[in-house]
Structure 1
């Protein structure tokens, strides 16, 4: 099996879990958790597909992805955890989720014939817009807009590094894995060290 579908399903599962954890911090019921789970898992990819003209959007005919989201939702919802543990899990799942979805979004855009610069933007949108929509539904300031998060910036750096490695003909699968790890590492490091871009 190719590595791209694996990364895509990992991203869907991880962001579905993240959606349920977000729902728990807001004390949503099971339906609210399912909605937030789907928004996290599919929001960014749907936005990307609509922008680049993929019809139908990628998840419509993917039964395995939908089952994966439902399993992640049900298991996470009924697995009771302490609030501090939930916050730590959110921290890790969100970081690796944006890593997975950055490379997936970038690859989907490249395969659709989008130029490298715009494909990089599509990678960032895929990684961040699910969380953006979920935060809006939770009536909180999206992580994408918060200082000290380096949310989209981490995706840009990881995606740009992947494109650079592709230019220098480094092994394709290794380049994808490095993109995920670099994106997640920058995200984790920026939060722990409270790094931020200049404030307007």
Structure 2
């Protein structure tokens, strides 16, 4: 299994956990949890593939990805009584998923012939739109749109570094790892230091 597959599957599992935990905070039943887990895990990648013209989209016929989402849902269900401070857990799982899907989204876009600039945009879409859809389903203002610590900006900065390293001849495995670590680090640092973008 290649690094890209590992990162993509890890992101799928992490975002599915995030979606299931979000359903838990809204006191949803197991079906509601399944819907949010699937939407969070697949939403961004599905939109990316539609924009890229990839057929079928990434999760169709992928039994491993399906198994990971179901495993994430079951894990949250079984350990829900031992998971305290849901908001804190959601933040960290979401930050990790943000980094993983930024890196994989950019790499997949480049493999499909997209220019570096638009590959970065596709990376941001891959990593943020699943959470956006989940927030809408929960009747919340999406984290992507509300004022808060750097979110899509962290993805954007990680994508720029990914492309810069690639342009300078750094191998893709290193790029993927650096991108993930950088996005997660920026997201956590922004939360702790309360870093915000200026208001419009």
Alignment TM-score, normalising by the size of structure 2: 0.97
Runs of 4+ residues deviating >4 angstroms? none
Shift of 1:89: 1.1
Give the gaps of 5 or more residues in structure 1: none
Residue 41 of structure 2: aligned partner: 41
Deviation at 1:68, TM superposition (A): 0.8
Q: Spell out, residue by residue over 1:18-56, the C-alpha distance to the aligned partner (whole angstroms, 9 max, x if none).
A: 001000110000000000000000000000001110111
Separation in 2 of the partners of 1:80 and 1:53? 39
Structure 2 counterparts to residues 44-55 of structure 1, below 5 A: 44-55=44-55
Shift of 1:172: 2.0
In the alignment, which residue of structure 1 is the partner of 2:124? 124
Partner-residue secondary structure (3-state), 1:42: helix
Select between 162-171 and 38-47 the one with higher mean Cα deviation: 162-171
**Aligned-residue RMSD, C-alpha:** 1.1
1:175 aligns with 175
- Closer, same or farther in 2 for the Cα pair 1:82/1:145, shift >3 Å? farther
Secondary structure of the corresponding residue to residue 28 of structure 1: coil
Report the Cα distance in structure 2 between the residues aligned to 1:8 and 1:38, rounded to whole angstroms. Answer: 14
TM-score normalized with structure 1 length: 0.97
Partner Cα separation in structure 2 for residue 84 and residue 198 of structure 1:
33
1:136 aligned residue: 136
Rounded Cα–Cα distance in structure 2 between residues aligned with 1:61 and 1:80 = 30
Residue segments in structure 2 that go unaligned for 5+ positions in a row: none
Structure 1 residues 62-105: Cα deviation after superposition (integer angstroms, max 9, x where no partner) = 01100110011011122124675322211110001000000111
**Distance (Å, rounded) in 1 between the aligned partners of 2:50 and 2:106:** 15
Matches of 2:181 and 2:5, distance apart in 1: 17
Helix, strand or coil at the partner of 1:145: coil
Q: What is residue 61 of structure 1 aligned with on the other side?
A: 61
Q: How many residues align?
A: 200
